[in-house]
C-alpha cells in the first residue's frame, strides 16, 4: 500500500510489504516519510504499543541496532506527556528525546522528536480498521531548514528513516500478531 501526500513532489517509491513514500525535493524545507503495513488485529490491540514510548521500545528498530542505548522515561506511562530520552554511542542511534503530544484512542498518536544537534521533527501513527485487520501508518515530518546541506539530508531521509520504519512496523506486526 502507498501513502499519498498532498504536497507537490517528483519522487515517490514503494518498498516491500509496507508502503513507503518519501517526497523530498532539494528546494523544499519539509521532508515527509511514511511507511504502512497491515496488521491482523483490531486498532485497540495495536494502540497500546504506539501510545506508550516504553512499550514502543519493545519493537523499536533502533534499540535492536544498539541494545546498550540508555533510556529514561518521564511523565505518564502512556498518552500525552509520555516522554523518553535516549543516549547511544552508536552514531546510527544517537541521542535525543521524544514526547507524545496528541493521542486519540484507537486512532492516532503524535509525538515530537528532538534529535540532539539535528533539530525537531514530528512523527505520528494512524490506525485505520480494514475488515479484521488494521492499516498502521508511521509518518515523519522534518523541517530541514534553509541550509543546502540540510536540504540534501532531507533527500536522504527515505534511505535513512524509511527502511527503519519498515523494520519497526514489521517488529510491531510480529509482536501484536504473535502475542
Q: What does the pLDDT read at residue 1?
A: 36
Q: What does the pLDDT read at residue 72?
A: 96
Torsions phi, psi for 175 (to 5 deg): -65, -50
pLDDT tens figures, 33-57: 788 999 999 999 999 999 999 999 9
Residue 24 scores a pLDDT above 50:
no
Q: What does the pLDDT read at residue 11?
A: 36
Band of residue 165 on the pLDDT scale cut at 50, 70, 90: confident
pTM: 0.77
Q: How far is CA 43 from CA 32, 95, 151, 164, in A?
A: 24, 30, 36, 22
- Provide the b/e sequence for 48-87 (b: ≥16 CB within 10 Å): ebbbbbeebeebbbbbeebeebeeeeeeeebeeebbbbbe
Q: What does the pLDDT read at residue 63?
A: 85
Q: How far is CA 76 from CA 5, 42, 68, 91, in A?
A: 32, 24, 24, 29
Give the bridge partners for 141, in sequence order. Answer: 32, 122
Element (H or E) spanning 44, and its range?
helix 43-50
Of 30 and 3, the structure prediction assigns the larger pLDDT to 30
Q: What does the pLDDT read at residue 144?
A: 55
pLDDT tens figures, 105-164: 999 999 998 877 667 889 999 999 999 999 999 988 766 555 554 544 545 555 666 688
The DSSP bridge pattern shows strands 133-143 and 19-22 to be unpaired
Cα separation, 97 vs 121, in Å, equals 11
Q: Contact 127/38 with Cβ under 8 angstroms?
A: no
pLDDT tens figures, 60-112: 988 888 889 999 999 999 999 999 999 999 887 888 999 999 999 999 999 99
Q: What does the pLDDT read at residue 147?
A: 59
Q: What does the pLDDT read at residue 94?
A: 84
Q: Pick the range with the lowest mean pLDDT from 11-15, 57-61, 162-166.
A: 11-15
Amino acid at each position: 500500500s502507498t501513502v499519498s501526500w498532498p504536497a507537490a513532489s517528483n519522487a515517490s517509491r514503494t518498498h516491500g510489504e509496507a508502503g513507503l513514500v518519501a517526497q523530498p525535493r532539494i528546494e523544499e524545507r519539509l521532508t515527509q516519510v511514511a511507511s504502512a503495513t497491515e496488521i491482523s488485529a483490531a486498532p485497540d490491540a495495536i494502540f497500546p504499543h504506539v501510545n506508550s514510548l516504553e512499550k514502543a521500545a519493545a519493537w523499536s528498530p533502533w534499540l535492536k541496532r544498539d541494545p546498550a542505548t540508555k533510556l529514561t522515561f518521564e511523565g505518564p506511562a502512556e498518552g500525552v506527556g509520555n516522554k523518553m530520552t535516549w543516549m547511544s554511542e552508536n552514531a546510527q542511534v544517537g541521542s535525543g528525546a521524544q514526547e507524545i503530544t496528541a493521542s486519540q484512542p484507537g486512532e492516532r498518536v503524535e509525538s515530537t522528536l528532538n534529535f540532539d544537534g539535528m533539530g525537531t521533527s514530528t512523527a505520528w501513527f494512524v490506525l485505520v480498521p480494514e475488515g479484521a485487520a488494521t492499516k498502521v501508518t508511521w509518518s515523519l515530518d522534518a523541517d530541514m531548514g534553509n541550509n543546502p546541506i540540510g536540504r540534501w539530508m532531507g533527500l536522504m531521509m527515505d534511505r535513512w528513516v524509511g527502511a527503519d520504519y519498515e523494520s519497526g512496523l514489521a517488529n510491531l506486526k510480529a509482536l501484536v500478531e504473535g502475542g
